[in-house]
A and B are shown apart, each in its own frame.
Chain A
Amino acid sequence: MIVLERVWKKYYRHQVFHRSLREDIVNLFKRKQKQELKKNEFWALKGISFEIKKGECVGLYGPNGAGKSTILKLIAKVTYPTKGIINVNGRVAPLIEIGAGFHLDLTGRENIYINGAILGMRIKEIKRKIPQIVEFSELGEFIDMPVKKYSSGMYLRLGFAVAIHSEADIFLIDEILAVGDEAFQEKCLEKIKKLKKQGKTLLFVTHNRELMKKIADRVIFLKKGEIVKIFS
């Protein structure tokens, strides 16, 4: 399902991208520069290898800067590895930062369409699922209000509701179980367990150990871009 083989990922430490055109042209002729680190570059991942089978629920755990989110990004194909191979089979729904595609001027309902489509849902599919999504988000009549007037809790709830209803095979979940009040969190957890029962593959990042123990089949412990240990 998901296979990572000796994956390395290099990042620039600079906030702003400023290489010169001249440097770019020179680099075109130097193919081997990928291996070595230049000034202000660092390895976010150093030779990560693991495999996740269909229907497995795997947690990524580790201190900040361990490379957890980078792994999710690589699996979501948002970015590409510097070295190594990644193989992903199936539709991926990245629940990385909920509501990324929301536009503040549009209403909740309109944003459901946008976010749903971004997550790879068909328009028909979204239409069919709108009642479920609205119900899950508990927004009720507020659904036809522009999102800019939402409270942050409402915003997150709507985002989570859309994401969780997508028909993907693989769900990437990054620190989002801190959504809404306790009752809603409980509801999310239930939903995630349900997805697990349906045979979906789940990969999530969290700092909450309790939660990790509750739902994960396996936990990969990362530190500074390397796998330290795998608990199962």
Chain B
Amino acid sequence: MFKIYTRLIFYKDLFLVFIWREFSIRYKQSIIGILWAALQPLSMMLLFTFIFTYIMPIKITKYSYVLFFYAGLLPWSFFSSSLNYAIPSLTNHYNLVTKIYFPREILPLSGVAVAFIDFLLACGVYILLLIMFKAKISWNILWFMPLFALLLVFTAGVAMVLAALNVYYRDVRLASSFLIQLWFFASPVIYSIERVSLKLKMILFINPLTFIIENMRRCVIEGRGVVLWQFLFMSVLVMLFFSLSYKLFLNTEKKFADVI
């Protein structure tokens, strides 16, 4: 954590410029521009609501389906779009990587940052939905922030590892859409782990997103708090994962220009 700070502080202007660049490239020559960011989780939510109300009417939760799905899709879209930007980020900037030195983590991390901007916009829609569907908000909603911080660190770790591996083995990129799809169903976006047996829960909790997404939903629409020890335990795990991924990134970084 400390290391990444000392490496990036000198290059913070470059980091900002890269975020701005990614952001403006994406919405150049598009009519509705940034609204696309809100459209993705919104349309997915509508689709799932439609499916589970009319096509397969299953009782998933006692809360409004609109809120339930959106609450899960919001963190999920942040995670998946971060990976979509970050994985090809190093190979796409072949020109830069082979010519100029700068801390390479700036490239995948600016992908995560752009996904974060999208996330903020999608949060605005979330607030509107919460008001429209008259969700009962309690102070536990404050848990949303620390849980998101956890998600951010975890996403950054995954993004760096996959982006670095993609430099060596392009298979990563080919596998990524399929991997993200698998991961989607392994995370409690369209279901809740509430009524799952303990044994199954254990298996699902191997995926850190299970804890994060489930609790991000609970603290907002159900007004429930997070069990503190679980949160601390998860934080330690995520930090550990992040520092390992960063180490791997730094170790492989030196050869990027030769291998890419």
Interface residues of A (CB under 8 A from B): 11-12, 17, 21, 73, 76-80, 92, 94, 96-97, 100-101, 103, 105-106, 110, 113-114, 117-123
Cβ of B21 and Cβ of A118 under 8 Å apart?
no
Which of B13, B96, B168, B254 neighbours the largest number of chain A CB atoms within 10 Å of its CB?
Answer: B13
Q: Which residues from chain B contact A96 at a C-beta distance below 8 Å?
A: 99-100
Residue pair A114, B28 in contact (C-beta under 8 Å):
no
Query: What's the tally of chain B residues with a CB closer than 8 Å to chain A?
Result: 28
Q: Are A17 and B24 closer than 8 Å at their CB atoms?
A: no
7 contacts between A and B (CB under 8 A): A73-B98, A79-B258, A100-B96, A100-B100, A103-B25, A123-B13, A123-B17
Q: How far is the CB of B15 from chain A (nearest CB, A)?
A: 9
Q: Are A97 and B99 in contact (CB under 8 A)?
A: yes
* A106 x B99 contact (CB < 8 A): no
User: Would you call A101 and B258 a contact (CB within 8 A)?
Assistant: no
Main secondary structure, interface of A, reads loop
- Closest-by-CB residue of B relative to A16 is B170
* CB pair B258 A118 closer than 8 Å: no
Interchain CB contact under 8 A, B25 and A118: no
Tell me which of A79, A101, A106, A120 contacts B96 (CB under 8 A).
Answer: A101
- Determine how close the nearest CB of chain A comes to the CB of B27; give it in whole angstroms: 10
Q: Which residues of B contact A121 (CB under 8 A)?
A: 13
Q: Could you say which of B17, B20, B24, B99 contacts A76, with CB atoms under 8 Å apart?
A: B99
In the complex, the answer to whether A100 meets B95 with C-beta atoms within 8 Å is: yes
CB within 8 Å of A: which B86-101 residues: 95-101
Distance in angstroms between the alpha carbons of A12 and B11 in the assembled complex: 31
Give complex CA distance A96, B96 in Å: 10
| Cα–Cα, bound, A196→B257 (Å) | 30
* Pair A11/B13 contact, Cβ less than 8 Å: no
* Contact of A106 with B25 at beta-carbon distance under 8 Å, contacts A17-B259, A117-B13, A118-B14 already known: yes
Chain A residues with CB under 8 A of B99: 73, 76, 78, 94, 96-97, 100
A224 to B226, alpha carbons, bound, how many Å?
Answer: 65
CA distance A76 to B101 in the complex (A): 6
Distance A73 CA – B101 CA, assembled complex (angstroms): 9
Contacts of B96 in A (CB 8 A): 100-101, 118
Q: Does B16 contact A (CB under 8 A)?
A: yes
Q: Give the residues in chain B near A105, CB-CB below 8 Å.
A: 25, 28-29
10 further interface pairs, Cβ-Cβ under 8 Å (given A94-B99, A105-B25, A120-B14) = A17-B168, A78-B99, A79-B258, A96-B100, A103-B25, A113-B20, A117-B13, A120-B11, A120-B102, A123-B16
In the complex, how many angstroms separate the beta carbon of A132 from the nearest chain B beta carbon?
Answer: 19
Complex: A216 Cα to B16 Cα, angstroms: 37
Contact between A113 and B25 (Cβ–Cβ < 8 Å)?
no
Residue of B nearest to A121 (CB): B13
Cβ contact within 8 Å between A78 and B101: yes
Q: Which residue of B lies closest to A113 (CB)?
A: B17
Check if A119 sits within 8 Å of B100, measured CB to CB.
yes
B100 contacts A76, CB within 8 Å?
Answer: yes
Chain B residue nearest in CB terms to A97: B99
Q: Chain B residues with Cβ under 8 A from A122's Cβ?
A: 13
> B98 contacts which of A17, A78, A114, A120 (Cβ < 8 Å)?
A78
- Tell me which residues from 233 to 260 in chain B have a Cβ below 8 Å from any Cβ of chain A: 254-255, 257-260
